[in-house]
Structure 1
Amino acid sequence: MPDTALQAAEATRPPPTRRSRPSRTHGARSLASPLLRRILLVNALPVALLAAALLYLGDYERGLVDAAVSGLRIQAQIYAGAIGESATTVENPEAPSINADLARPLLRRIVEPTPEAQARLFGPGGVLIADSRVLPGPGGTVVTEPLPAPQPPRGLLGRLAKQAHDAAVALLVRGSAYPTIPDGADWMPDLATAFPRIAEGDAPPVLRRTADGRLVISVAVPVSRNRRTVGAIVLTREAHEVDAALFQVRMTILATVALALVVTVGMSVYLAATIARPVRRLARAAERMREGRGRSRSVPRDLVARRDEIGELADALDESATALWARMDAIERFAADVAHEIKNPLTSIRSAIETLRRLDDPERQQRLLSIISEDVQRLDRLISDISDASRVDAELSRTPTEPVDLGPILATLAELHEATRGEGEPRIVVDAPSEGLTVRAVEGRLVQVLRNLIANAVSFSPPNGIIRLIGRQGGGIVEIAVEDEGPGIPEARLEHVFERFYSERPRGEKFGSHSGLGLSISRQIIEALRGTITAENRRGADGRVLGARFVVRLPAA
């Protein structure tokens, strides 16, 4: 009979209200897809511009530094040649030496045209002979002339540009490629231990940055006379032209990035008009369908008519909604038809009971009547539960959810149980806040779930046992637990208890008192409300089972 009723339900299903379109997904993965082209363009263009600028900057910086080092080395070689020819003594041609009295003023004069440079003259073994920044003072004192301070940018625009440059460098360049000179430290590197390499002419340059970010370059070249090394010159200069050139290039990068951002914002507005807004409209249509306010023509027609991926999504959503509603209506009709077909014979059975009471054997009459009556009650209860289970999804999809506070509901259910509790039946203890456990649900169905769980706990609880209703909220989830002190659930059956018609009843309970659909309907309701329901055993410290626990979790409102 169920098969016949199902076939009848399928036969009476109304035909689709519109003709299905051919599939438009054959080109969804192609590079010619309009949506894919827009996404690639928006994401790749700014990144490509920025990456190209940074790669170019790295090569440009290395070229500038190499040129500055080469120029400074040539300048140091000129100074070394002048010192070697004009400030050395050749009394012993085999062992020429530097005349300190001649070298000091000569070193200051040749370095003077380069105010941002400092030169030091070392003798054999790295002994300092002269420093271009050390000047004789009055009364024979020695005055060290500091290197010039960096010049700040001119004007408000220049200062703003410098601040933007520094922020961009700090963001894009993680750390400096050169070591930093601490505040108050000597700019000149300590090359005393490197004198043998300097004498051989292969000492590498030293590149460092000051605490305020200026690039400082030092080179060391030997001082020779008659092809004999008599000392070394270490020349240090601030490479402001490198920093200035890098500043200009980085400002160009900032301008390029700003332009890319403007283009990205403009294209994002365009994408919002062509993708984001239609998607939001589709989301609103889906929400209306979920709340039961969109049985037909829920998706805007202009979205369905689009010839891109949004149109495909809208078309699929519209067809899915139509098919879903048709299927739910068919299931609802099928459940109603089955209940009707089964309940019809019940009238005849009840009439037969009245007839059987006129039999001559009273004992047989009463026994037969008792059996038939019990079967009728069981069928009636089973039919009611099946009908209720078949209507849950359809009812929840049609009924809009609303905020429901579970605190007062738990307290009310506990009071009702205490008011009707018989002798020896378990007591209910509520461990939950009086308010604040708010979820979005259909209140009647949620109360049905809680009553099912409480009834299940009562049937398994020992005489005068305790049932605990625990309510908690945390992490955006409201959790309700129903705990009993019964024998628990077999570990292998923790999931099976939610299956339809599964029944795991306590010993001594009358057969047929339960249809095995209570927990199945409860899970059906909770999952329709976007929650979960699980079963587990309570255990003591020794691992012994102390009872069963059913936990319901729902999103907090």
Structure 2
Amino acid sequence: MPDGAALSKQAGQADTAGQSSTPALPPRRRFASPFLRRILLVNALPLALLVIGLLYLDQYQNGLMDADISALREQARIYAGALGESAVQAGSGDHPVLTQDLARPLLYRLTDPTPFAQARLFGPDGNIVADSQVREGAGGAIVTEPLPPPANGGTVSNLVSWFYDHLLAWAPSAGGIPVRQLDKSDGADWQPDLKAVLALRGNDTGQEVPPYIRRTTDGRLLVTVAEPVTHDNQTVGMILLTHDARRVDQAVLSVRISILGLFFVALVLTVLLSWYLAQTIARPILRLAIAAQEMREGHGRTGAVPASLLERGDEISTLARALSDSATALWGRMDAIERFAADVSHEIKNPLTSMRSAIETLRRVEDTNQARNNLLAIMADDVVRLDRLITDISDASRVDAEISRAAPERLDIVAMLGALADIDDATRLPGAPIVAAAEMKPGLGVAAVEGRLVQVLGNLIGNARSFSPPSGRIELSALETADGMVEIAVADEGPGIPEGKLEDVFERFYSERPQGESFGKHSGLGLSISKQIIEALNGRIRAENRHDETGRVLGARFVITLPKA
């Protein structure tokens, strides 16, 4: 049988062997916590802002376009009304016709206050009558006035426009007014060709002609509306009014720049918050993992967890304290196992040494039957002692594992104590101490494991019986305390416990037996196992002496305190 040092050495070798097959750091686990929600919120914030900005921009742009088209259509209606009243003369068959000499100067004057607009007047046959950008110069020459150059917002504006155009190409379309993209084959003319004019004119059913919106190759956003020119409820022509909607582009550009600014601010905040979370969450958890690894490898006992993590006052601090407490409990358990192994080795050596001495003596005895019988009796007692010792050691080693697997349940302690008293009364021999249950509050319950609690009470009753005088009384009682606990007491009428030994009686292999009892009948583990069971059930056990008014010892009493159920 190896001693405590040998067992510790073997445990260390086993741990070293296990290091090669276990990971260096504990595996990651999935968990839901405020940390995870914070990280998700911070990471989703920039994307949410960007998506909201895109939707808001699309609605904003459509609203501006609708307002611009409405204003342009009203302006075209005013032009058409003025031309229908002032630029029409009677034609053949008294049909009114547009007169070019009257229409041109009037059209010039109407469009003169709006440099970013162009008006073209067509007759009923589709031929152009007047164009506000084509004028007669000196000597009768026809001069086409240059159009205002497209708006140029600079390098930053161009970059923003390029970025948004490519970004919106990947985003889902929210609908709105369709815009035609012109290419080089369409030319740089502001107006559609004659076929487009006829298409804009429609079928003269009185329905409003839809607007024609396009973006030229040089970046201009052009809007054209068509309105009929009427005189005496007769259509005499069609006016096409084209407007450079650069104000829409400028307003949208300013919103784009605002969204990009907000995006970059959110991006900076995300980086800063991510760094903060990494410093306050990820890094401390890594430090805890390193501390756990060091404790696992045996480089640290208590104090391996950094003190700064224990003093944080948040969830990380709770985790650090739990890890530190677990390490302390684990090392305490390992120390207890080492001491237990040493005590077991020492206790087992005593009967083995006695048996070896008896065997060696037996070999030297020649014909004395009495001496041989005495030696054989000693060996038989040592074998019984070994059997009892090994049985109690096995029981003690299984207590924690069994209780950890069994969930505590509510037990009626009054009924249990009454049943134990009845069983003892039915099996009691004549002259043996009497076990009786005192008057108790009915229905008093405790949270415990039934089999193990019965074992503890049986140990205490057996211990009290061995110290009680013949026909003495062993009283079982239970009462509820003010702090929500239940105290269970086993009192006897024996000689009591020496005052300096009230705590020692729970030590492993300690034995304070009554006078006249043969040596070796008890292993000294009964009360130690009882204390181990009660503490595993979140309770306490203590020993005390009973005294009368004069201070004389009336007997011993063991008190168990368990949570009330």
Q: TM-score, normalized by length of structure 2?
A: 0.46
TM-score by length of 1: 0.46
In our comparison, the structure showing a higher alpha carbon Rg is: 2
